[in-house]
Amino acid sequence: MQSLSPTALAEEVKFSAQRIFSLISADLAEVEVEFERQARSNIQVIAYIGNYLRASGGKRVRPALTILSNYAVGGHGARYNSIRMATVMEFLHTATLVHDDIIDNAATRRNRPTINNQYGNQTAVLMGDWLYMSAFETSLTERSLPVLDILTAVTRKMTEGELLQLTLLGRTDITEDQYLEVLQRKTAFLFSACCEVGALLGGASEPQRLALRDYGMNLGTAFQLIDDLLDFTGSGERLGKAAGVDLLEGKLTLPLIYLMQSGDSAARELVLTVVAEGAYNTVSRANLIEAVERTGAIKRAKARADEYAAAARDCLNILPNSEYSESLRSIPSYVIERES
């Protein structure tokens, strides 16, 4: 089979993303309505910030996974309980972003000022807490102990991931396993929960539920691996936030872990210098990108993401053929080839 040029591949992925999301566009529109409903409050500042966060947009990948997983096992993703729980997953994701931005002292996200930048850390902390509690309050209406078990477990995992990451900040000797443990707790477990909850609401068999749970874990891992790669290769304008900041915050992502293992002492020294200075002064970001490319670290990290994407697709073999299962099968390619 003839391979596609980078331009053709980007166009194909763009088309695939449009096809995936257009398939459930009406459902995602209902998620937006439900987000607005769940974010209402008679406390004016909460109502305003909730609307600000909703209007900030985002890819809505997590609600899409919940709805598609529901349809893929023969459920009805347009039912209100499916829309409601898809919105809960977006609330949990949004809460983590609000708290992450406080921890990282981030000024922008999705090309807009962060809540902590606009209102200060105290308001941002409380707003993140409010989003978490609202998500759980809404999920209680489902009256499903399995769903609640999944949500409590994923919330604990995400918090553990943040705490674990804090213990590793500034360390240049972290291993790939340590990095992946943080990544999966912070990101992949929520992807997994979205797919598993969607499967449960759709009446999945036990093997189907477990397969979608594993699909989400592999997909979420690939998603964050690419996110970390884009911190090197992307621009701030495309990413909607500052680029190249992970290392400035003392976070070694997989390309840099591979670089540190490469045996290239000059390249290693570049990383040590940036970590020590906390800025691209002596060493520019361009210098670092050149070193990561020279040592093959970016190519190696991309190959690792490809492995997780392939594993995600393999998990779907148990599902009946449908446009929804095919959409789930297309998402890993979209995740791998995205530019923001």
Q: What is the mean pLDDT of the chain?
A: 89
Three-class SS state of 108: strand
> How confident is residue 14, by pLDDT bands cut at 50, 70 and 90?
low
Burial bucket for residue 167 (CB in 10 Å: 0-12, 13-18, 19+): exposed
Q: Name the token pair of 306.
A: 């490809």
What's the CA gap between 102 and 225, in Å, rounded? 22
Q: How is residue 188 annotated by DSSP?
A: I
Share of the chain above pLDDT 90, in %: 64
Q: Across residues 100-127, what is the average pLDDT? A: 89
What's the CA gap between 68 and 156, in Å, rounded? 25
Q: Is residue 4 part of a domain?
A: no
**CA quadruple 160, 164, 167, 169: dihedral sign:** negative
Q: At what angle do helices 206-233 and 61-72 cross, to 10 degrees?
A: 150
Number of domains the chain contains? 1
pLDDT value, residue 78: 81
pLDDT value, residue 1: 37
Q: Is residue 6 part of a domain?
A: no
pLDDT value, residue 12: 45
- Is the confidence at residue 311, as pLDDT, over 50? yes
Instruction: Look at 166-175, 216-225, 234-243, 260-269 and tell me which has the smallest mean pLDDT.
Output: 234-243
pLDDT value, residue 318: 96
pLDDT value, residue 235: 59
CA dist 167 → 98, 114, 174, 190, 201 (Å): 20, 24, 11, 22, 37
> How confident is residue 9, by pLDDT bands cut at 50, 70 and 90?
very low
Q: Is residue 337 part of a domain?
A: no
Q: Is residue 280 part of a domain?
A: yes
Q: Name the token pair of 162.
A: 């943040």
pLDDT value, residue 4: 46
Q: Name the token pair of 137.
A: 């309050």
What's the CA gap between 180 and 225, in Å, rounded? 9
- Is the confidence at residue 117, as pLDDT, over 80? yes
Q: Is residue 138 part of a domain?
A: yes
Q: Is residue 5 part of a domain?
A: no
What's the CA gap between 222 and 214, in Å, rounded? 12
Q: Which domain holds residue 190?
A: 11-316+323-330
Q: Is residue 193 part of a domain?
A: yes
For 315-338, write each residue's pLDDT tens digit: 999 999 999 999 999 999 989 988
For 27-53, write each residue's pLDDT tens digit: 999 999 999 999 988 888 888 898 888
Instruction: Identify residue 137 by its one-letter amino acid code.
Output: E
Cβ atoms within 10 Å, residue 338: 19
Q: Across residues 89-106, what is the average pLDDT? A: 91
Q: Is residue 271 part of a domain?
A: yes
- Is the confidence at residue 3, as pLDDT, over 70? no
pLDDT value, residue 240: 53
For 294: left if phi > 0, alpha if psi spans -120 to 50, otherwise beta; the answer is alpha
